[in-house]
Structure 1
Amino acid sequence: MLGAICGDVIGRPYEFEAPTTNYDFELFTDQSRFSDDTVMTAAVADAILNERPFDEALVEFGLRHIEGGYGKGFKAWLLDVNRQPGTSYGNGSGMRASPVGWLSGSLAETIGLAWRSAMPSHGHPEGIKGAIAAAAAVRLALEGKTQEEVRSVVASLTGYDMNRSVEQIRANYPRFKVTCQDSVPEAIICAIEATSYEDAVRKAVSLGNDADTQAAIAGSIAEVYFGVPDQIAERALATMTPDLRQVYDQFVDRTAHLRPAIR
């Protein structure tokens, strides 16, 4: 969860007005703060930690932080008093899924919980697939799978083309694609090919696409392999509101037994 939060905070300044393809971008700026990625990640964590329905938690946290930077469709879903299960295939289902990997007991449980976390708003098959891919990558890393093993299993679970390199993606990447199928595998590949937490996030942001979401997904996986440097964690966590920090602290307490698994 920490890796996702930090990725979101680092990527946010480069999401809309100022996308960058420069790997050496400024890591923190005066615009670095959490966005909808962090809010929805906290909502998913809260639902699992406190055994609440996912739709209830997503709506509660979403409305509390309604100006978090949601896509138009998801914001409309939040504000609709007569809301129905959504069929989005946007990458919002993947960006919020990392707590599932930590709070599951197995890959099979991860897949089921990821499916449930996506369904309230992202019930399209591609939306579900994006959540499963992001959560499974985290779970596989926690189970000690190598980065290359994660590549193979995610491809098997989803049918995503995971054989590309970051540089191959960069050479052919369309600007600002926010669908799961056009951003989740790319984000996972950034983590698979990373040599450090910061390297994963820099790769994800500098693809020049949906920077904060891709960095959140890549960062959530890279956290397991490399940990998050203290100076990055401190800067990102300092931007959080008390309600989000409360969920984060509860999550850290619940997952303390998994921390030795972080290399």
Structure 2
Amino acid sequence: MSTAAATGPHRAAARRSLEGLALGDAFGERWFPLFRERRQAYEEIRARRTPEEPDWHWTDDTAMALGLFRVLDRYGEVRQRELAHAFALGHAADPARGYGHGMHDLLPRLCREPDRWPELARELFGGEGSLGNGAAMRVAPLGAWFHADLRRVVEQATRSAEVTHAHPEGIAGAVAVAVAAALSARGRLSVAEVVSLTPDSATRDGLARAAGLPVTTEPWKASDVLGNGQRIRADDTVPFAVWTAARHPDDLVSALWATAEGFGDVDTTCAITGGIVAARTGVDAVPADWLRRREPLPGGGEHR
């Protein structure tokens, strides 16, 4: 499928999700300098005072989501060799976006030999493959793209994850976030339904705990139970981010503030939450100042 053919509700929902993902990523990244003073950071977040920096730059979360969106836009589906090459080119263009150690090892090799993605992805971490949160952090726009067909969401999310995250946990995290984004785009986000479509895994177990956690729970308490991404693993990241998205399914700003209260890998948790919620809401209700401060996306001007 060519770019010209990639039009309609699926692309619009995916672009909304991408805008929200990038906003969450850039918003979350601004909190890291304050985390050395945890009490001060918490007071700033609870008071809903945004970080002072005039420019909010996004990280590898958004860079990789852009690569995935471009492949979907060009082909209408995940083509794994092409996705491997898109990720590699994004890294080569700007390797200082905050990529993890595994991606710094993998992506330059994929740039030279994208056809070898199956073996190269499996070689990471002593041959176990990555169980990190990287496949989950970038995938929400894919879920929004295929939101009309949840079976396709699961299949395409799996294919997108396998290119870099061969471990079952990394794949499960991507499936869960993609399903959550698809449900959000359909206006029926439910943690329990995400659980039902997530492969058997520690990530699924964490989501099951999230499904039983009352929405009245303080986010910082929820992050104690579910994890906040501090270990950079899918099972330590995805349950909390999906829970905060489901807690505020129609309010992107409130969802991001709640996610930030969990601290941890806050750019990634906010990117996941932002991508899920914005698949439904877009970013039009976000304060104009936030959108001005967030680094623009290539092909910008599509806030809707």
1:85 and 2:121 are equivalent in the alignment? yes
Partners of 1:29 and 1:208 in 2: CA distance: 18
Aligned partner (choices 49, 73, 90) of residue 61 of structure 1: 90
* TM-score of the superposed pair, with normalisation by structure 2: 0.72
1:34 is paired with a residue whose SS is coil
* Structure 2 counterpart of 1:103, from 123, 133, 145: 145
Unpaired stretches in structure 1, ≥5 consecutive residues:
none
Please say if residues 90 and 127 of structure 1, whose CA atoms lie closer than 8 Å, have aligned partners that are also in contact: yes
Question: Aligned ranges for residues 96-245 of structure 1 at < 5 Å?
Answer: 96-104=138-146, 105-145=148-188, 147=189, 150-158=190-198, 159=204, 160-161=207-208, 162=210, 163-165=212-214, 166-167=217-218, 168-172=221-225, 173=227, 176-194=230-248, 196-228=251-283, 229-230=285-286, 231=288, 234-235=291-292, 237=294, 239-240=295-296, 244-245=297-298
Bigger CA radius of gyration: 2
Q: Distance in 1 between matches of 2:33 and 2:162?
A: 27
Between the aligned partners of 2:291 and 2:263, the Cα distance in structure 1 is 25
Q: Which amino acid is the alignment partner of residue 29 of structure 2?
A: R
**For the structure 1 residues 59 and 199, does the alpha-carbon distance in structure 2 shift closer, same or farther, using more than 3 Å as the test?**
same
Q: Deviations over 1:90-119 (max 9, x none)?
A: 111011001111221411111111111111
Gapped regions of structure 2 (runs ≥ 5): 1-17, 123-128, 199-203
* Counterpart-to-counterpart distance in 2, 1:48 and 1:174: 29
Q: Which residue matches 1:27?
A: 50
1:34 touches 1:236 (CA, 8 Å); kept in 2? Answer: no
Q: CA deviation at 1:191?
A: 0.8
Aligned residue pairs: how many? 244
Would the alpha carbon gap of residues 76 and 29 (structure 1) be closer, same or farther in structure 2, given more than 3 Å must change? farther
**Identical amino acids, percent of aligned pairs:** 26
| RMSD after superposition | 2.5
Conserved 8 A contact 2:229-2:266? no
Separation of aligned partners in 2, 1:101 and 1:126: 18
For residues 75 and 94 of structure 1, the distance between their equivalents in structure 2, rounded to whole angstroms, comes to 18
Q: Which of the two has greater helix per residue?
A: 2
Most deviating of 117-126 and 152-161? 152-161
Q: Deviations over 1:23-45 (max 9, x none)?
A: 33532432621111110110110
Instruction: Describe the SS at the equivalent of 2:121.
Output: coil
TM-score by length of 1: 0.83
Displacement after TM superposition at 1:170 (Å): 3.4
